[in-house]
Amino acid sequence: MKPRSINIFLLDGDPNGIRVAQISMSTIQAIAFRRNQLRRVREAFPEIERPGVYILIGSDEQESGGHIGYIGESEGVGARLTHHNSNENGRDSKSFWTDTVVLISKDENLTKSHARYVEACLIRSISHNPRWSIPNSKRPSEDAGKLPLQDRAAMDEFVDQTKTLVGALGWDLFREMRGRPVDAAEPPGENTLVPDGHRFFFRGEGFAAEMMLSPSGDFVVLAGSKARVRTTTTIPRGTSALRTSLLDAGVLRDDGQFLHFTSDYSFTSASAAAATVTGASANGRILWKLEDGRTYADWESSQENNASEASPGQQEA
């Protein structure tokens, strides 16, 4: 990823209200709002009546509690969203829908074919994140929104910026949680995540896992790690659902003795990573340890101390 500057406009000054995000010097903008704010958005931003792509976001509260992201496109996004919103009990019902992101281009050069191409790329991207499910009944064909080479290049940049903008607005559905498959010729986890990164270990009866930090600060359990098959009554509901989704996605493989990580997988906290590995509630800050026995919490504290000791010298310079 490359450094980017993003401007976010708050229509009412509320960070949880209607927001418009745009990367500096770009014509692509993302408009985020709650489902019940649709009418106001159509009045305030007439540009959403043009061709574009939209994402309907919600959660599956009756099943796993996981995230849902429906991706669509239209020649008139505002009208299409109104159709979804007024068809609650019909064939096109979107009962999970609570939040919306609309992606459009301010230069008015986006066509139906462009939107179809972007939609297809985004649907394929979200399929790599087991934390999210896609209720789209049809998957895009390989030639969906087929475009000339020069248009494809422009829309690939649209897709790339969309992923950045949606992430900046608070949703990680395009964040690819799986690392590349482990090459048979190299040891598991050999694809180093941080140049001088430390490896943390969590071992016990029925599990043995390794973890590193990613440049973005995530906790990445490495491919080849083994998680415990059985779970306890203390396992958090979300962790149980995540383990199921990882098995369905093939990130975890059950051989009857262990659950094997077939690829690297990123967690937002050390405890979430530990709970997934051990199948129980866990304090990952004290359970993940370096080879010398220091816990992750000890190591983090030492990093903070080193940084504070270096600061005076830097200020003098």
Contacts of 72 (CB under 8 A, 6+ apart): 53, 54, 55, 56, 80, 119, 136
Q: What tokens were used for 235?
A: 């396992």
What is the average pLDDT across 236-254? 88
% of the chain exceeding 70 in pLDDT: 79
% of the chain exceeding 90 in pLDDT: 46
Amino acid, res. 261? F
State how far the Cα of 35 lies from the Cα of 101, in Å rounded to an integer.
Answer: 10
Confidence of residue 305 (pLDDT cuts 50, 70, 90): low
The better pLDDT of the pair 30, 144 is held by 30
Confidence of residue 21 (pLDDT cuts 50, 70, 90): very high
**DSSP single-letter state for residue 161:** H
Q: What tokens were used for 55?
A: 């994402």
Which contiguous run of DSSP H or E holds residue 74? Answer: strand 67-74
Confidence of residue 316 (pLDDT cuts 50, 70, 90): very low
Task: Look over the chain and give the mean of its residue pLDDT values, rounded to a whole number.
Answer: 82
Q: What is the pLDDT of residues 188-209, one digit of tens each?
A: 343 444 445 689 999 999 999 9
What is the average pLDDT across 121-138? 76
DSSP strand E in 110-238: where?
A: 132-133, 200-204, 207-213, 219-221, 226-227
Q: What is the pLDDT of residues 148-199, one digit of tens each?
A: 888 989 999 999 999 999 999 988 888 765 443 333 333 334 344 444 568 9
CB 307 within 8 A of CB 300: no
CB 215 within 8 A of CB 288: no
**DSSP single-letter state for residue 90:** S
Q: What pLDDT is recorded for position 201?
A: 96
